[in-house]
């Protein structure tokens, strides 16, 4: 396995990769980056979760002229969520070269996108229908395109986007490079490659199978509007030492972090909008366990290697099953056991089954803890704090008062009263999160569904069936990330110093 330093990558891009925590290239990156840097067309047959975005993002950004503020590259992706994730990662890779990427997708006000495009980004990550809409409005021009990327081409075929893709590629008149990535190569995708690509080099990479045998995995079937309360009940009953909570979007991470802080937990959030300096400080506090809960998007959590994480919570299921393996792999390190909990809405059960198929293991369903379970869990935390105080000899200066009490009262009654004082009622401060659309299993897109998944070309309001697929996933509106809770004291103080 080669390092990125061995792949002829320029210094500004290497600096970004290092800050993202990337050192060694994955197989698809090791093969694709040199090929694409040489200017060749490329077909990469690889599953999601193999590092494809970096594989095309590095050469794409390296070939950009940062002084030219016209659009020089496009990435076409099947879903809104993937377009957002790709844009986030490209912005991180290109940050030290002053290369900016804008996501464009249906379901978002098109005027907002036009304003973003007027800031003259060099790259656009887009869903097919909305991209074609912008091309026809002339708010996106393709005359300066140097590189066109088709990400998850077979998925776009299944969703009925193939005609849109052909129309987009036909609009690029000048010589350019085309990079196509697909898990499978059906005949229609082969025909697309023959028509629009110039002697592409084929690279085939199998997804790396990661073991998850040492991680206990559970899931809960919960309605979208009940997930946050369910999460808090789990945190109170499990009392994790260090936990990572995954949200699907930047806005979700911001709202989750704010909600956890409101309920008294020690939490901070990271996502693609967080400045590198702040991200490093957040991660440092998490490593030092002064912050006990880290809320993150998939992109922001890439490259994290933190020992001592006891629990991972998938507040939102990941977009693709492979990301599930990467997420829960944050716990159970160095031979230790880990706990992974996932929340699935009733409409996401099929997607959960696809995750089970990938890991070749059933994930156990559990019931959300009841209120009495929470109280019992908080009592156990209080007992742990009480015993910890005894074991560390911090209670000796109170011995005289204790002896006086015990001379008058029953010892069991005294200990019970101490536990009662340490056990606080669960914080039920109202928290409201913006709902996100459920993720459906990929198999549900089979068959002829072309009309249902046409892009939103009619003004960006996303009515009816227009742009249905483009509206999948969560909002990309985010704040500046979460704040920090209190420093680490006892678990009981952590949860109940309001």
Q: What distances in angstroms separate CA 268 from CA 257, 284, 487, one per listed residue?
A: 6, 11, 12
Q: What distances in angstroms separate CA 489 from CA 292, 448, 451, 485, 493, one per listed residue?
A: 11, 58, 57, 12, 6
CA dist 213 and 223 (Å) reads 28
pLDDT at position 12 is 96
pLDDT at position 383 is 65
Choose among 243, 215, 453: nearest CA to 339. Answer: 215
Q: Which residues of the chain have pLDDT under 50?
A: 210, 443-482, 484-498
Choose among 181, 312, 315, 317: nearest CA to 257. Answer: 315
pLDDT at position 169 is 97
pLDDT digits (tens, 9 = 90+) for 190-231: 999 999 999 999 999 865 554 577 899 999 999 999 999 999
Choose among 144, 108, 137: nearest CA to 123. Answer: 144
pLDDT at position 344 is 97
Sign of CA dihedral 268, 243, 218, 232: negative
CA dist 215 and 198 (Å) reads 46
Residue 107: strand, helix, or coil: coil
Structure tokens at 42: 């490329």
Asked if 343 and 217 touch (Cβ cutoff 8 Å), the reply is no
CA dist 161 and 165 (Å) reads 6
For residue 73, list its beta bridge partners.
123, 147
């Amino acid at each position: 396995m080669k390092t990125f330093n061995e792949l002829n990558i320029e210094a500004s891009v290497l600096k970004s990769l290092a800050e993202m925590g990337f050192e060694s290239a994955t197989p698809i990156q090791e093969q694709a980056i040199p090929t694409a840097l040489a200017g060749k067309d490329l077909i990469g047959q690889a599953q999601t979760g193999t590092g494809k975005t970096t594989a095309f993002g590095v050469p794409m950004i390296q070939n950009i002229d940062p002084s030219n503020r016209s659009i020089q590259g496009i990435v076409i992706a099947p879903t809104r969520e993937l377009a957002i994730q790709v844009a986030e990662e490209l912005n991180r890779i290109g940050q030290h070269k002053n290369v900016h990427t804008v996501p464009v997708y249906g379901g978002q006000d098109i005027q907002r996108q036009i304003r973003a495009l007027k800031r003259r980004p060099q790259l656009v990550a887009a869903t097919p229908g909305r991209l074609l809409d912008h091309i026809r409005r002339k708010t996106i021009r393709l005359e300066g395109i140097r590189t066109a990327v088709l990400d998850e081409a077979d998925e776009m075929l299944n969703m009925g986007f193939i005609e849109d893709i052909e129309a987009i590629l036909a609009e690029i008149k000048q010589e350019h490079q085309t990079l196509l990535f697909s898990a499978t190569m059906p005949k229609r995708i082969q025909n697309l490659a023959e028509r629009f690509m110039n002697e592409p080099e084929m690279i085939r990479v199998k997804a790396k199978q990661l073991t998850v045998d040492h991680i206990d995995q559970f899931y809960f079937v919960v309605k979208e509007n009940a997930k946050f309360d369910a999460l808090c009940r789990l945190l109170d009953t499990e009392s994790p030492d260090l936990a990572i909570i995954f949200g699907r979007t930047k806005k979700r991470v911001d709202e989750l972090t704010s909600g956890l802080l409101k309920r008294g937990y020690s939490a901070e959030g990271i996502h693609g909008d967080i400045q590198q300096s702040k991200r490093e400080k957040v991660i440092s506090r998490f490593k030092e366990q002064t912050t006990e809960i880290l809320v993150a998007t998939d992109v922001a959590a890439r490259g994290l290697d933190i020992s001592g994480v006891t629990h991972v919570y998938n507040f939102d299921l990941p977009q693709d099953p492979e990301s599930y393996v990467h997420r829960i792999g944050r716990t159970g390190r160095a031979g230790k056991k880990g706990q992974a909990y996932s929340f699935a809405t009733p409409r996401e059960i099929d997607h959960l089954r696809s995750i089970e198929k990938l890991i070749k293991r059933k994930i156990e369903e559990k019931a959300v803890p009841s209120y009495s379970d929470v109280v019992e869990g908080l009592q156990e935390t209080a007992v742990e704090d009480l015993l910890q105080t005894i074991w560390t000899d911090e209670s000796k200066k109170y011995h005289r008062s204790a002896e006086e009490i015990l001379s008058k009262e029953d010892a069991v009654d005294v200990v019970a009263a101490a536990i009662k004082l340490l056990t606080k009622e669960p914080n039920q401060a109202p928290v409201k999160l913006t709902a996100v659309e459920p993720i459906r299993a990929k198999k549900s897109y089979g068959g002829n569904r072309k009309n249902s998944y046409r892009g939103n070309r009619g003004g960006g309001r996303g009515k009816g069936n227009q742009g249905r697929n483009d509206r999948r996933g969560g909002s990309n509106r985010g704040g500046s990330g979460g704040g920090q809770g209190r420093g680490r004291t006892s678990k009981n103080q952590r949860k109940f110093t309001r």
